[in-house]
Structure 1
Amino acid sequence: MNEDVIKVSDEEKTLTPGKLFYNWFAANIGIMGIVFGAMIVSFHLSFFQATLASLVGGLSFVFPGWVATLGKREGITTFKLSRAAYGTHGNKIPNAIAWFNMVGWLAINVITGTLLLVSLFKILHIAKNSVTVAIALAIFAGLVILSGLLREAVLAKIQTWLSWIFGLLTLVILILFLMKADWQAALAAPSGQWLGGFWPAVSIVAAGSGISWSMAAADWGAYVKPQASQSATFWNTTLGGAIPLFVLMWGGVLLSTVEPSLATASNPIDVMNDALPSWISVIYFLVAAGGLIPQCIISLRSARINLATVGIKVSQQASLVIHGAIVVLIPIYVLFISGNFLANFELFLGFLGTCLAAWVAVFLCDSVMYRRQGYDVSLLENGSQNKYNWKGITSWVIAVVTGFLFTNNAIWNGPFAHGIFRDNSLGVFVAGIAAVICMLLLKPVGRVSEGEAL
């Protein structure tokens, strides 16, 4: 991708809204959706509350849907669009964090894929040791890196087939999980706190799904055919991600009634496999892999786009080498040194969720307040005078700091992380709300800059 070219050419706009549905559906049929469901239950919610939290959390995909429509309308990828809100230079910090987010998701999925192959080796009577773990890591990471050589049209076709194949197989696996679920225990679970339980559960799901995927949405929306409708782009993106995510989380809610260790296990793949009949184990592992590969494809593609947008210009081969090294080194740390997958996963979600919730709130507020008539391309070009948009930068910084003040985790203890804000991800919502408030308060400050619509 040429960094100096802002708009995607009409020749490259080959995707239909339906392709977006398959793209996001395929990216969210991963088995981690079931782990999200178990994490929701860990907040001590009733069956009704947990089901509602799954639904609301899944509907956080309205944010990627919204961002995708902006990308489709303008024919511009996400972090070139956000230059308007932050300035061409000011945009580089949230852009770099978004790159880190995509690389982090790549690493998480590679770790999960490695654990999945290790569990498959166990079925094949291959003992788990450092060598077999290293072989599994090399296999899965190699497949992910090779996907970076494919073009958008080819990726869209792959996502469509993966959606059908692994969507149906996932449904079979989910039915088996539901048959084993302890419905009586699920329905008898007492109600938990709404402020201290329900909303923190929604926040961690939103941080790991809709909010996290927002910065990749316009990277796909920009390639939709010009004649396609905005509403079709929105709904295919939103529902493509929300439907499989909700169904899988709901399955995780029920499965946790018979496998309470699901949300805390060092290898949740093994826990889910133990809940299935032995005859379907191989299919289960194929389904789990099928759900991870599309997520890796999207993350790697957007990570490469973000790296270029930050201003780091490298060839496609060099980009693959850089990202390949990162997505191997992080799993090596987690698998061979730390050994605690889910603890590192939740820490990652909390940190990135806060930064990205603030980013998407500023980005969308800017689009509503100043870009209703469209984006002025001159604001997005490298030579633009719009180097620092201090309204957006200031709002983002204040929002991120505010979010962390209400957050605590293994390495940080915010001064206001007490009561309902203790030991959860509510700081993600605090950051998003703070960003909106700052953008509204700063609107009257200064003159309307070039390209902004009143």
Structure 2
Amino acid sequence: MRATDPTPCPRPVDDARPEGEPSSGRTGRPEARGIDLVPAEERAGRPRGLFAVWAAPNVSYLSFVVGAALVLMGLTLPQAVGVILVGNLVWICTGVVAAAGPVAGTSGSVVSRAMYGVRGNKAVVVVTGWLISAAYLALNWSAAAVAGIGLAARLGLPAGPVVDAAVTCAIAAGTVLIAIFGYAAIVRLYSALSIALTVVFVVVTGYVLGAADLSYAPAEPLAGAALAAALGAGFTLVASAPLSYGNSPDLARYLPADSSPVAVAGWTALGAYLPSVVFTAVGALAATGLDMSDPERALEGVLPGWFVPVFVIAVIVNTMTNNGMTAYSASLSVQSVGVRLARIPAVLVIGALGTAMTLYAVLVFDFLTGVSTMLQLVVVVTGPVMAVAMTDLLLRRNRYDGAALLEQRRGGPFWYRGGVHWAGLLALAAGAPAALLCVRTTFWTGPIARIAGDVDLSIPAGTTVAAAVYWATTRVLGTIPRS
């Protein structure tokens, strides 16, 4: 049935499952459910289960890299730790947005139809749910591939592009498998993996502390405008991770509809915040005593030889947990824009795109340059998108009707004007340029950032402008009823 057909349908038109195919995720079988509404009988669990779901991906090697980057920018250890503590508070935004999941009972890429309209949402999701998700897949897979390639060399495999590509593709295939098995596998598997990964990374932390210089001071301490610029860039680098997780409702949608939104937000944010703070701080500590311009070699250099393979495997597994969530949500995004694919083929499409980008990053591009550049620039989009999502949730008081959101018919509850909610698109059209004017990266510094002494103000500028424009425009248009 076409989206413009007003004839009632026995189930949402977005459900791309073949008739009779089981929908829900059991741990031992692939999850076929796509973005269709999760019925009450398939909802279970408590919000506290979200802690492990978000902890496992954030017990992360990439956190070491980001923490080290803060010190390499010229910050002292206390300054770097301060940036880590403050920047990771943005996980609260991820938690707040997650609260929409149990209420709506569908994916975040469908909930965002409330913000952008049925048609307008498609353009937004193509960027945030496809391109940016594929880029993050490539970023994390690149980190794991670098470690895996090093392990292959230790095992005596010949160096070269063939082995590099094989390692990369093997890591990508394992990740895609997690996404295929879906929600139930993620919830149960990540609970165990969060403990196992924490144990491994705590051992690494012990060796890092032995090599760290707690009295470290930069050769030329930063002051004035230079210090402000480094602090701004560091905050953007740290906060870019939580801002990228607008998919948090996807992992909460199987909870009962009456789950406490405060608990959903709190356990989501806490599960991500704690390991992110701890292991990013460890990365900063490592940079005080080790040459973290090559993080893998530096960390392996302080570990006993027998433990290095364990550490490398942990890095790879952590990457799979992180990217498993990303690929899972990206597959739902594919369906939400109207592509007539079941969820599992959609996972394969996103996985193929991310793998191609990873191979380029591993075989052609410099990894550390890619990390710094991407994490600082992507907030131009993700910051305003997160701001619109939070503002909409607060204005609606988290009242989302999943069945209504899944309607695509002309004149439906979220059709707005011509299928577009202009308040959402205008907010992004204002917020993204505001962020771009204030961003500072290795290849672009916005004019306002230059005036401010090269301080990166992209996150506060982009989020504030987007939220203000969205609030004001919805009030003028009357598209969100006051209650």
Displacement of 1:380 after TM fit?
5.3
Q: Match of 2:254, as an amino acid? A: Y
Matched-pair contact (CA < 8 Å) for 1:27–1:292: yes
* Contact kept in structure 2, 1:203 and 1:429, CA below 8 Å: no
Return the offset for 1:188.
9.9
**What TM-score do the two structures reach when normalised by structure 2?**
0.85
Alignment of 1:102-117 (within 5 A): 102-117=133-148
Per the alignment, residue 41 of structure 2 pairs with 11
Alignment of 1:265-284 (within 5 A): 265=294, 268-284=295-311
Q: Which moved more, 1:127-136 or 1:302-311?
A: 127-136
Q: Whole-Å Cα distance in 2 between the matches of residues 28 and 418 of structure 1?
A: 33
Could you tell me which residue of structure 2 aligns to residue 48 of structure 1? 78
Of 402, 415, 421, 1:389 maps to 421
Pair 1:375-2:375 in alignment: no
1:160 corresponds to which residue?
191
Offset at 1:67?
0.8
Distance 1:366 1:348 in 2: 27
Q: Alpha-carbon deviations, 1:64-86, whole Å to 9, x = none?
A: 11011122233232121111111
Match of 2:118 in 1: 88
Compare 243-252 and 92-101 and name the one that shifted more. 92-101
Distance 1:351 1:192 in 2: 25
Distance of 1:432 and 1:305 partners within structure 2: 25
Change (3 A) 1:205 1:373: closer
Superposed displacement of residue 95, structure 1: 1.2
Q: Which moved more, 1:99-108 or 1:299-308?
A: 99-108
Query: 1:282-338 CA deviation, whole Å, 9 max, x = no partner?
Result: 221122123211101101101101111122121344323312321221112112222
Q: Measure, in 1, the Cα distance between the counterparts of 2:343 and 2:443.
A: 36
The answer to whether the aligner puts 1:199 opposite 2:232 as a matched pair is: yes
Q: Which amino acid aligns with 1:453?
A: R
Cα deviation, residue 130, structure 1: 1.5
- Match of residue 354 from structure 1: 380
- Asked if 1 retains the 8 angstrom alpha-carbon contact of 2:104 and 2:253, the reply is yes
- Shift of the 72–379 alpha-carbon distance from structure 1 to 2, 3 Å rule, reads closer
Q: Distance in 1 between the 2:194 and 2:353 partners?
A: 28
Of the three residues 429, 447, 451, the one matched with 2:460 is 429
- The aligned runs of 1:41-440 (5 Å cut-off) are 41-99=71-129, 100-185=131-216, 190=221, 192=223, 195-207=228-240, 209-213=241-245, 215-260=246-291, 262=292, 264-265=293-294, 268-338=295-365, 340-369=366-395, 371-372=396-397, 374-376=399-401, 378=404, 381-383=407-409, 384=412, 385-386=415-416, 387-409=419-441, 412-420=444-452, 422=454, 425-440=456-471
Going from structure 1 to structure 2, the CA distance change for 1:373 and 1:279 (only over 3 Å counts) comes to closer
Cα distance in 2 for residues equivalent to 1:186 and 1:432 = 34
Q: Given residue 452 of structure 1, which amino acid in structure 2 is its aligned partner? A: P
Shift of 1:186: 5.4
The secondary structure found in structure 1 opposite 2:340 is: coil
Deviation string, structure 1 residues 257-282 (Cα, Å, up to 9, x no partner): 1124x2x44xx322321232333212
Residues 33 and 79 of structure 1: CA distance in aligned 2, closer, same or farther (over 3 Å) = same
Change over 3 Å in CA distance of 1:48–1:390 after alignment to 2: same
Kindly state the Cα deviation for residue 428 of structure 1 after the two structures are TM-superposed. Answer: 3.0
Read off the aligned partner of 1:182 and give its amino acid letter.
Answer: D
Q: Residue by residue, what CA displacement relative to the aligned partner does 1:106-162 show, whole Å, maximum 9, x if unpaired?
A: 111221221111111222233422222122112212212222320311221111110
Retained in 1: the 8 A contact 2:335–2:342?
no
Identify if the C-alpha distance between structure 1 residues 322 and 153 changes in structure 2 by more than 3 Å, giving closer, same or farther: same
Do the aligned residues in 1 keep the contact of 2:229 with 2:453 (CA within 8 Å)? Answer: yes
Alpha-carbon shift at residue 29 of structure 1 (Å): 0.6
1:452 aligns with 2:481: yes
Using the TM superposition, give the Cα deviation of residue 373 of structure 1 relative to its aligned residue in structure 2, in angstroms. Answer: 6.4
- Which 10-residue stretch deviates more, 38-47 or 6-15? 6-15
Cα deviation, 1:20-45, whole Å, max 9, x if unaligned, reads: 11010001011111111112223322
The one-letter amino acid of 1:149's match is I
**Aligned partners of 2:456 and 2:163: how far apart in 1?**
35
Q: Identity rate of aligned residues, in percent?
A: 23
CA distance in 2, matches of 1:320, 1:74: 22
- Bigger shift: 374-383 or 325-334? 374-383
The question of whether the paired residues in 2 share the 8 Å contact of 1:407 and 1:421 is answered with no
CA separation of 1:373/1:125 partners in 2, compared to 1, >3 Å: closer, same or farther? closer
CA distance in 1, matches of 2:60, 2:461: 28
1:15–1:153 Cα contact (<8 Å) kept:
no
CA distance in 1, matches of 2:220, 2:278: 20
Pick aligned residue for 2:59 from 19, 23, 29: 29
Higher helix share: 1
Distance between the aligned counterparts of 1:105 and 1:119, measured in 2? 22
Please say if residues 113 and 405 of structure 2, whose CA atoms lie closer than 8 Å, have aligned partners that are also in contact.
Answer: yes
AA matched with 1:3:
D
Deviation at 1:235, TM superposition (A): 1.5
TM-aligned CA distance change 1:13 to 1:425, over 3 Å: farther
After superposition, the Cα gap between the structure-2 partners of 1:373 and 1:65, relative to the gap in structure 1 and judged at 3 Å, is closer
Does structure 2 conserve the Cα–Cα contact (< 8 Å) formed by 1:88 and 1:380? no
Distance in 1, Cα, partners of 2:252 & 2:220: 42
Give the gaps of 5 or more residues in structure 1. Answer: none
State the shift of 1:227 in Å.
4.8
Closer, same or farther in 2 for the Cα pair 1:405/1:118, shift >3 Å?
same
Once the two structures are TM-superposed, the CA of residue 46 in structure 1 deviates from its matched residue by 2.3
